[in-house]
Structure 1
Amino acid sequence: MTQESIILIVIGAVVAMLLLGGAGIGVTMIIRPRLLLRKRLRQIGVLEGGQQVVNEKMDSRRQKRIQDKIKQLGQKSEKKGFMDGVYNDLLQAGVDISVHAYLVICACVGVLSAFFYLMSGKPPLGALPVLLIGAFGLPKFVLSYMSNKRKKKFTSHFADAIDTIVRGIRSGLPVNECFNIIAREFEEPLGEEFRLIVEGQRLGMTLDEILRRGISRLPTSEYKFFAIVTQIQKQTGGNLADTLASLSGVLRERKRMRDKIQAYSSEAKASAMIIGSLPFAVAGLLSIVNPDYLMLLFTETKGNYILAADAIWMGCGIGVMRGMINFEI
């Protein structure tokens, strides 16, 4: 190989390296910025399809976080046994007695119910059902009624309490001071619940523990929403006032929907009340027209069995109608 050939090969290699280097620099300085710009435009939503993917990822993360919180609250509020269930029922009803005292009251009510049943001259066979109903059914019904009444009273003013927190935060007040205002200005159980939150924070309890205890006392959907929002807000940060304002709007919309359903189902409830009262109305008319014919149901043993069977079927019918006309949101 001559010297001229070697020089030509070296020159060709240098030119090729220069061309490849220039091409690489061109790609880096021209094409890559354009690709980055296009990707950024997709993320901010200028180009179609990019923002949707980002929003879907963010929504999926947010939904997963919310589902985890709901699962945690559900696991922590699960009843572990009979005594724990009775304790939770007493808490939700707002009754300040011990579980043992409640069980003693249930036993006394059951024994007294069976005693008065036997004293009235009824068949002894019905004493056991009366004892069980008096010992377990009647106290449970009373606690359930008190608990539902307490939950409704709490829910009716909960959105107003959240609006108070939002206005206080936007005016510069600390969150604890907003809780203090609600504890002072609102009636029980709402004011009492926020007072317990403030006292728990003063004692050094964590917010998760305070809200978990609050949900065990008032296991309403609205209170669970508030607990989830505050806990997630504490972890992720952001504007608490805007988040609570959105929550308040959701709660008011739920209340509006509940009132609308109640208005739509009022006709069905009136029909159910009329149908349920017909047997008693007929019995009252028969007692006036022919009392001896009706008294056989109360004086004869077979009549007592017929009344017991009628009461069972009436209870089943009322339960079915109640399930058909009541809707949960």
Structure 2
Amino acid sequence: MVIVLALSIAVLAGVSSWFLQQSASRAYERYRNAFKKEATARMGEFFLFLDPAQLWLANLALCGLAAALVYIASGPLWLAAAAGALALLAPQYSIKQLRRRRLRRFDEQLPDLLQALAGALRAGSGAQGALRHIVAQSPIPLAQEFGLMLREQRMGVPFEQALAALYLRMPTEGTGLVVSALQIAAQTGGGLAETLERIAATLRARLHLLGRVRALTAQGRMQAWVMACLPLVLGVVLAQLDPDSMRVLWQTPAGWTVMALIAGLELLGVFFIRRIVDIQV
């Protein structure tokens, strides 16, 4: 009877391990394919054409290095696994932050381009010729995006389709206004210079208001980061001052439960603070 029970437990453990391995393998493949697809699309937006397979290997190397360093420095295996998981997710978060910054810089540069384009139109220049001359002297990322649009047009892509592709790459409110104005002007004509000047004035007023909002909410954003980092700093300091007492927190199931609860509450607090200070204009 004991032998049968032991064999049953062994078979159950083997089957469970096989299913767990298969699930982990499928999850790994899904995440790797999603990472490569996302990296290819996002790197293309930054005009960086890198091999997604090499980026994936670099991400895995970063994950392993972070886990090894944390394990050597602290000792708990679960903490090293958490550090490796964070390192695995960090590149996607960084890419999203860089894309958000790129969109913001594009919006900041857009009013100057519109003002220069309106001046060129009032001087008698054509819209596409003036746009080509202005884009050649514009900073990045505006020069890259409008330059790609003009190259697509020279290769035979219709002007309206090239504008629509520009809006897909840079889906901001300012880009939508500019694309709509240029499409209408290309189809019907009319006072494009005056329209562009009004759009430029509207975008400048909006950017000024966004700057004021960011300045007024800077303290709230800093409060979120201070609240998130303070327990970590305090834990490191207490571990150096009284390692025997802190060992209960690092090396016992009760301590792990407390840390998981603290991490959950910290993330919840940061989420709510950032939602409060994220004012849409």
Task: State the TM-score, normalized to the length of structure 2.
Answer: 0.73
Residue 212 (structure 1) aligns with: 164
Cα distance in 1 for residues equivalent to 2:269 and 2:160: 43
Larger Rg: 1
Cα distance in 1 for residues equivalent to 2:222 and 2:95: 26
Deviation at 1:272, TM superposition (A): 3.9
The yes-or-no answer on 1:151 pairing with 2:87 is no
Contact 1:182 1:194 in 2 (8 A): no
Instruction: Assess, with a 3 A threshold, how the Cα gap between structure 1 residues 204 and 269 changes in structure 2: closer, same or farther.
Output: same
Residue 4 (structure 2) aligns with: none
Cα distance in 2 for residues equivalent to 1:276 and 1:257: 28
Corresponding letter in the other structure for 2:49: D
Residue 24 (structure 1) aligns with: none
Instruction: Assess, with a 3 A threshold, how the Cα gap between structure 1 residues 182 and 308 changes in structure 2: closer, same or farther.
Output: farther
Contact 2:146 2:166 in 1 (8 A): no
Residue 187 (structure 1) aligns with: 139
Residue 28 (structure 2) aligns with: none
Cα distance in 1 for residues equivalent to 2:70 and 2:235: 22
Residue 247 (structure 2) aligns with: 296
Runs of at least 5 residues in structure 1 that lack an aligned partner in the other structure = 1-80
Contact 1:201 1:207 in 2 (8 A): yes
Instruction: Assess, with a 3 A threshold, how the Cα gap between structure 1 residues 107 and 269 changes in structure 2: closer, same or farther.
Output: closer
Instruction: Assess, with a 3 A threshold, how the Cα gap between structure 1 residues 252 and 228 changes in structure 2: closer, same or farther.
Output: same
* SS at structure 2 position matched to 1:157: helix
Cα distance in 2 for residues equivalent to 1:100 and 1:278: 37
- Aligned positions of 1:46-125 closer than 5 A: 82=34, 85-120=38-73, 122-125=75-78
Instruction: Assess, with a 3 A threshold, how the Cα gap between structure 1 residues 250 and 206 changes in structure 2: closer, same or farther.
Output: same
Cα distance in 1 for residues equivalent to 2:74 and 2:206: 52
Instruction: Assess, with a 3 A threshold, how the Cα gap between structure 1 residues 321 and 124 changes in structure 2: closer, same or farther.
Output: same
Corresponding letter in the other structure for 2:242: P
Residue 141 (structure 1) aligns with: 93
Deviation at 1:280, TM superposition (A): 4.8
The yes-or-no answer on 1:252 pairing with 2:214 is no
- Aligned positions of 1:239-278 closer than 5 A: 239-278=191-230
Partner deviation per Cα, 1:125-175 (whole Å, 9 max, x = no partner)? 45554444322x211111012112211221111101110100011111222
Instruction: Assess, with a 3 A threshold, how the Cα gap between structure 1 residues 212 and 297 changes in structure 2: closer, same or farther.
Output: farther
Residue 317 (structure 1) aligns with: 269
Instruction: Assess, with a 3 A threshold, how the Cα gap between structure 1 residues 270 and 138 changes in structure 2: closer, same or farther.
Output: closer
Q: Which runs of 4+ in 1 moved over 6 A?
A: none
Cα distance in 2 for residues equivalent to 1:121 and 1:292: 12
Runs of at least 5 residues in structure 2 that lack an aligned partner in the other structure = 1-32
Task: State the TM-score, normalized to the length of structure 1.
Answer: 0.64
Deviation at 1:114, TM superposition (A): 3.6
Partner deviation per Cα, 1:12-71 (whole Å, 9 max, x = no partner)? xxxxxxxxxxxxxxxxxxxxxxxxxxxxxxxxxxxxxxxxxxxxxxxxxxxxxxxxxxxx
Residue 280 (structure 2) aligns with: 328
Partner deviation per Cα, 1:272-295 (whole Å, 9 max, x = no partner)? 45544543564466467x333664
* SS at structure 2 position matched to 1:180: helix
Cα distance in 1 for residues equivalent to 2:159 and 2:93: 33
Deviation at 1:213, TM superposition (A): 2.8
Corresponding letter in the other structure for 1:249: A
Deviation at 1:322, TM superposition (A): 0.7
Residue 176 (structure 2) aligns with: 224
Q: Percent identity?
A: 19
Deviation at 1:92, TM superposition (A): 3.7
Corresponding letter in the other structure for 1:268: G
Q: How many residues align?
A: 247
